Amino acid sequence: VSSIPLGPGAEFDVIRRILKGAAPPGPEVALASGDDCALLRAEDYRYLAVSVDLTVQDAHFLLDWGTPELVGGRAVRASVSDLAAMAAEPVGVLVALNVPADAEPGLAEQVGAGCTSACTALGAPLIGGDLSRGGGTLALDVAALGLVERPLLRSGARPGDELWVTGRLGAAAGAVGAWKAGAPVPEEWYDRFWRPEPRLVEARWLAERDVSTGIDLSDGLLADAGHISAASGVGLEIDWQAVPAAAGVEPALALAGGEDYELLVAAPGGIFSPEHVSEFERTFGIPLTRVGRAVTGIGVRVFRDGEEVALDSSGHDHFRAG
């Protein structure tokens, strides 16, 4: 059994303290903590990829930002994105849902309808769950299960690899910023926050082309690059100007803003020709952009016009003081 080293940060310190008390898993567990999914050995040289993702009212969303259906759909999509991060094919989803004690009648059904329609859209059937009512908070914990033959780990990046990102970044964080400021939210930002698209088929396309490493962008490009750096033991250099920002998004937000659920992958230098890139864009309708490289060392550095940019690269950390 292996586990993958977590990067620095208060949230990961809490996880490290919890894992210290955990008994080691048996031989059927090929990969325990530290990546987007745990991997269990399955038949036919495959792995069962398993992940769980928690969505809590007031920590991840406010109910005024959308509808209960959107809350359910987003929770499923965010969880299934961890399967995309491993290049796994979904086989099922389990949803544990708590609704507040004073919830309007029908709230659980509305959230559940959002979950089931996202499950159908993603080809990840709802296969179980749990329901409770109490306290003051709507919360969903969504477990995603998938199968994968060649998982895309966080730990495979090597110096000389190129970093590539799918889609355009920053729209989800743009929406959150606009809601908090009481500003209007452009439709594209709204959709990206509430209906993120797990890059399942894109991940399999990339994995078939010898990509060495992958992660989904939940914490933000800089923070998630930090996870690859820590897991792979390499330094990562990102070109500020190369980062593809969503329409109307400042470059700094495209770098640091979380919850876009695009993919960041590392690939040996030169394996993506311009023809590959246009094939990707034709097939999936989103860009594939080279944003940097892996080097010897550790940590993530950002360069603009050859000059290093000083940035808070930690992204979102629920457990950071202040």
Q: Which residues make up the interface to Mg ion (CB under 5 A)?
A: 36, 82, 85, 216, 218
User: Quick one: 47 or 179, whose CB is closer to Mg ion?
Assistant: 47
Q: Does an H or E element contain 29, and which?
A: strand 29-31
CB atoms within 10 A of CB 318: 11
Amino acid identity, residue 169? L
Amino acid identity, residue 247? A
User: Quick one: 5 or 186, whose CB is closer to Mg ion?
Assistant: 5
- In the complex, minimum distance from the CB of residue 113 to Mg ion, in angstroms, rounded to a whole number: 25
User: Quick one: 161 or 262, whose CB is closer to Mg ion?
Assistant: 262
- In the complex, minimum distance from the CB of residue 294 to Mg ion, in angstroms, rounded to a whole number: 19
Q: Return the HEC string of 224-254.
A: HHHHHHHHHCCEEEEEHHHCCECCCCCHHHH
User: What is the number of the residue whose Cβ is closest to Mg ion?
Assistant: 36
CB atoms within 10 A of CB 4: 17
User: Cβ distance 211 to 267 under 8 Å?
Assistant: yes
- In the complex, minimum distance from the CB of residue 85 to Mg ion, in angstroms, rounded to a whole number: 5
CA–CA separation, 13 and 6 (whole Å):
9
- Per 3-state DSSP, the chain is made up of helix, strand and coil in percentages (nearest 5) of 35, 25, 40
User: Quick one: 95 or 228, whose CB is closer to Mg ion?
Assistant: 228
- In the complex, minimum distance from the CB of residue 133 to Mg ion, in angstroms, rounded to a whole number: 29
User: Quick one: 71 or 83, whose CB is closer to Mg ion?
Assistant: 83
User: Quick one: 112 or 198, whose CB is closer to Mg ion?
Assistant: 198
User: Cβ distance 245 to 253 under 8 Å?
Assistant: yes
Main-chain dihedrals φ then ψ at residue 96, nearest 5 degrees: -105, 125
- In the complex, minimum distance from the CB of residue 235 to Mg ion, in angstroms, rounded to a whole number: 21
Tell me the β-bridge partners of 144. 51, 93
- In the complex, minimum distance from the CB of residue 106 to Mg ion, in angstroms, rounded to a whole number: 32
- In the complex, minimum distance from the CB of residue 309 to Mg ion, in angstroms, rounded to a whole number: 25
Closest C-alpha to 76, from 27, 37, 44, 117: 117
